[in-house]
Structure 1
């Protein structure tokens, strides 16, 4: 079986999935091949439709070209699979992608859902495609050899602090306000907020004053406040310092269908607190983690305080992890491909 997975994303979800699938099928991982290849593939698996357009909203002409290309692949006998990571991209101009997403889901032979909510949500719209539930896997490629003491020393955080980690890029003003409002209301001593993806990364050459100003704010906060606010990119090897320094991971995604940070937190056996929406709810409840209503301030604070008061050093059950393991995801993908191509 030959599979084209249309993603070049520097994302461990993709790299780990491709590596696992490569042991079972012949797989090509490329956006360019989708548009230009003359090869024959049994399955064309699209991850994020917008990645086929360099993450930008396609023009009307580009949409026509996309539809024609999909027809061409079908004429060669390929089956089309689309993974539903989002209802729409997490962008300010999300509605500009609606036609692309609607067409992708409605014309696919199968849609992969990362959670029950996504599956039920799409099926309720009358989708006639094969809908397959394959949970997002727990990441496997991140180094994890530093302990809590070493991690906190590296980041300059006191041993007795109660650390709340918000990992990943903070995408908008609403998420920032949500985090700081919740943090200010938490009634626990020695609380500490850790957000490595808070500040935008600016070119010194293009924005020298802004770059210096943000750096100064960052240094002062680390020295004189109960917050560590950093910059977007954290190197793969450095991720372990942030998670191993944390007591609780807070998911601030207010409208997302899912969040990859959950599966990164599980890789480090971290206690997670998140919103009761999308696929996020079912994953947190599977591990008995607290959820909150984003519009109910009391429920948000109560959930975080519960997490900070819990014995977060206890190991998460390996049995509970089974359906989120990479090996399970690989098997489910292979089973889906086989079903479509028989």
Structure 2
């Protein structure tokens, strides 16, 4: 590792900060590795203002380096040509249901429990939860505890539909166009691509009061919740129902087009790289 890092000394190295710590894998070894790498980095890109402060507080030695805030770009890579009705027919969802989508890996049983309890309390009578992705722990394998949680979730809140495994790129549009809200069931997070993904497809996004996720959702008027409280999650989902009816999803789409455009984001990266040189 030292040889690799030493070889960087002849290069300009920019680090994009996505997380402060590895998800559910934090350890002294990871901490040491992070500091070794950051000691050889010339500049840092953050996806929100709060990220810069949190990161420098965690790694004060990086204050000597230049930092730049550049938002996450929207997901133009995915097809987006199916209607809500077609998407729901494809996934076997009722046209009158209020569909909440949890998209991506659930990394720990506590995330599944948060979803389970929040959905149970969520008062929308036509609620339907779709979980699309992996139930995976630190070893990237499905855990028996997760499966027990899955069966428990089905027994407590029957309007649940699971799609296990990776979602093909050409299938993403069906999940996003079928849902009314996206929920991010995370306990401790800095950034989430689900914010940008939901905005790209014009959906209301519900996320935890953490990091850049909270910063962007509060700035745009989307619901946030206390990740230690299923009641708070349920309240945020209830708020989301009203926002869906008032056209917040379309406002999110317009926001993504204006502030998450890849042309602008690429230009900002190039300017920052040149300034670091």
Q: TM-score range by the shorter chain?
A: 0.7 to 0.9
Q: Mapping of 1:138-177 within 5 angstroms?
A: 138-177=74-113
Cα separation, partners in 2 of 1:315 and 1:299, compared to 1, 3 Å: same
Identify the residue that residue 197 of structure 2 maps to in structure 1.
264
Match of 2:215 among 261, 267, 282: 282
Identify the residue that residue 139 of structure 2 maps to in structure 1.
none
Cα separation, partners in 2 of 1:253 and 1:317, compared to 1, 3 Å: closer
1:316 aligns with 2:259: no
Q: Is the contact made by 1:139 and 1:326 (CA closer than 8 Å) also made in structure 2?
A: no
Moved more, 242-251 or 82-91: 82-91
Greater RCO structure (CA 8 Å; 6+ sep) = 2
- Give ranges in structure 2 of 5+ residues lacking alignment: 137-141
Q: Is the contact made by 2:203 and 2:252 (CA closer than 8 Å) also made in structure 1?
A: no
Q: Mapping of 1:5-44 within 5 angstroms?
A: none
Moved more, 94-103 or 254-263: 94-103
Higher helix fraction: Structure 1 or Structure 2?
2
Identify the residue that residue 113 of structure 1 maps to in structure 2.
46
Within 2, Cα distance between the matches of 1:126 and 1:168?
Answer: 34
Identify the residue that residue 70 of structure 1 maps to in structure 2.
5
Identify the residue that residue 35 of structure 1 maps to in structure 2.
none
Identify the residue that residue 194 of structure 1 maps to in structure 2.
130
Within 2, Cα distance between the matches of 1:231 and 1:95?
Answer: 32
Structure 1 residue 318: Cα displacement: 6.0
1:120-157: per-residue Cα shift (whole Å, max 9, x none)? Answer: 11233242111111111111100011111111111111
- Give ranges in structure 1 of 5+ residues lacking alignment: 1-65, 201-206
> SS at the partner of 1:252?
coil
Identify the residue that residue 116 of structure 2 maps to in structure 1.
180
Q: Mapping of 1:241-256 within 5 angstroms?
A: 241-256=174-189
Within 2, Cα distance between the matches of 1:248 and 1:196?
Answer: 14
Q: Is the contact made by 1:82 and 1:104 (CA closer than 8 Å) also made in structure 2?
A: no
Cα separation, partners in 2 of 1:151 and 1:318, compared to 1, 3 Å: closer
Within 1, Cα distance between the matches of 2:129 and 2:8?
Answer: 49
Identify the residue that residue 22 of structure 1 maps to in structure 2.
none
> SS at the partner of 1:112?
strand
Within 1, Cα distance between the matches of 2:205 and 2:230?
Answer: 18
Moved more, 84-93 or 127-136: 84-93
Q: Is the contact made by 2:181 and 2:240 (CA closer than 8 Å) also made in structure 1?
A: yes
Within 2, Cα distance between the matches of 1:166 and 1:141?
Answer: 20
Equivalent pairs, count: 257
Q: Is the contact made by 2:204 and 2:252 (CA closer than 8 Å) also made in structure 1?
A: no
Structure 1 residue 317: Cα displacement: 5.4
Structure 1 residue 323: Cα displacement: 2.7
Within 2, Cα distance between the matches of 1:318 and 1:305?
Answer: 21
Cα separation, partners in 2 of 1:82 and 1:67, compared to 1, 3 Å: farther
Moved more, 239-248 or 191-200: 191-200
Cα separation, partners in 2 of 1:160 and 1:258, compared to 1, 3 Å: same
Moved more, 128-137 or 86-95: 86-95
Moved more, 306-315 or 79-88: 306-315
Structure 1 residue 286: Cα displacement: 2.4
Q: Mapping of 1:72-151 within 5 angstroms?
A: 72-74=7-9, 76=10, 78-124=11-57, 125-127=60-62, 128-151=64-87
Q: Is the contact made by 2:134 and 2:165 (CA closer than 8 Å) also made in structure 1?
A: yes
